[in-house]
């Protein structure tokens, strides 16, 4: 991941990886069979890492759907997830998704699970309140796409981009659509 973050996927050579790991070049192929497979395992590990944090965030909080939803949003905009070095790796893989079906499959799986959980939480929130004009699908779509989009800003203009402003925007949005569940924070 360090290498991909530094030089991109196309610019990463097995020699780089071996050097970074302090190992010989041969051992990389011995363990991963091929460069392609190394990348796939990297992506899998990246996905698994994210999923673990995701599960952790779900456990945290007061247990209410709104709390868990907020917890997930905070994760997506946390320092851990938003580091440009890590995001660069995600975008590197997304950039190859079109031409590598295997990458797409893994990314798709993460996305699907993410969407599913968000959708479920939104549904629970709507069920436990009175929101006649809102569908869970609409809110879930907005939330899921927002975080992805915010990451792009983080990647492209890292210095100017403020995680707090983003979190503020998310909270503002939630308090607008779900006023009964999310308290209005003072606008910054």
Nearer to DNA, 7 or 60 (CB): 7
- Report the partner that residue 137 touches, choosing among a copy of itself, DNA, none (CB closer than 5 to 8 A by kind): a copy of itself
Q: Which alpha helices (H) appear in 62-182, and where do they start and end?
A: 65-76, 79-82, 84-96, 101-127, 136-156, 163-177
Asked if residues 188 and 166 have their Cβ atoms less than 8 Å apart, the reply is no
Angle at 102 between CA 97 and CA 103, to 5 degrees: 40
Instruction: Report the length, in residues, of the chain.
Output: 188
The least distance separating a copy of itself from the CB of residue 140, rounded to whole angstroms, comes to 8
Query: Quick check: 187 binds a copy of itself (CB under 8 A)?
Result: yes
Collect all residues with Cβ–Cβ distance below 8 Å to 39 and sequence separation of at least 6: 9, 93, 103
Instruction: Determine the interface stretch with a copy of itself among 48-56, 57-65, 121-129, 168-176 (rule: CB under 8 A).
Output: 168-176
Within positions 12 to 31, which residues make up the interface with DNA, using CB under 7 A? 12-15, 23-31
Out of a copy of itself, DNA, none, what residue 111 binds, judged by CB under 5 to 8 A for its kind, is a copy of itself
Using rule CB under 8 A, residue 172 touches a copy of itself: yes
Minimum CB separation from a copy of itself for residue 80, in Å?
18
Give the angle subtended at the CA of 140 by the CAs of 134 and 143, to the nearest 5°. 115
Residue 41 binds DNA (CB under 7 A): no
Q: Is 2 in the site for DNA (CB under 7 A)?
A: no
């Amino acid at each position: 991941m360090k290498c991909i973050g530094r030089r991109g996927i196309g610019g990463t050579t097995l020699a780089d990886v071996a050097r970074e790991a302090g190992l010989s070049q041969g051992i990389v192929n011995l363990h991963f069979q091929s460069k392609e497979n190394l990348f796939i395992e990297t992506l899998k590990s990246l996905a698994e890492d994210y999923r673990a944090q995701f599960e952790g965030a779900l456990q945290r909080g007061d247990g209410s759907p709104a709390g868990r939803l907020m917890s997930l949003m905070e994760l997506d905009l946390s320092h851990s997830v938003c580091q440009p070095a890590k995001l660069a790796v995600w975008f590197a893989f997304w950039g190859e998704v079109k031409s590598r079906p295997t990458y797409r499959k893994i990314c798709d799986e993460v996305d699907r699970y993410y969407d599913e959980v968000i959708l479920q939480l939104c549904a629970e929130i709507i069920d436990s309140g009175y929101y006649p004009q809102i569908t869970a699908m609409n809110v879930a779509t907005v939330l899921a796409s927002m975080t992805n989009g915010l990451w792009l800003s983080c990647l492209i203009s890292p210095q100017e981009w403020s995680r707090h402003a983003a979190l503020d925007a998310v909270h503002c949005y939630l308090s607008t659509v779900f006023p009964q569940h999310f308290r209005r924070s003072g606008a910054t």
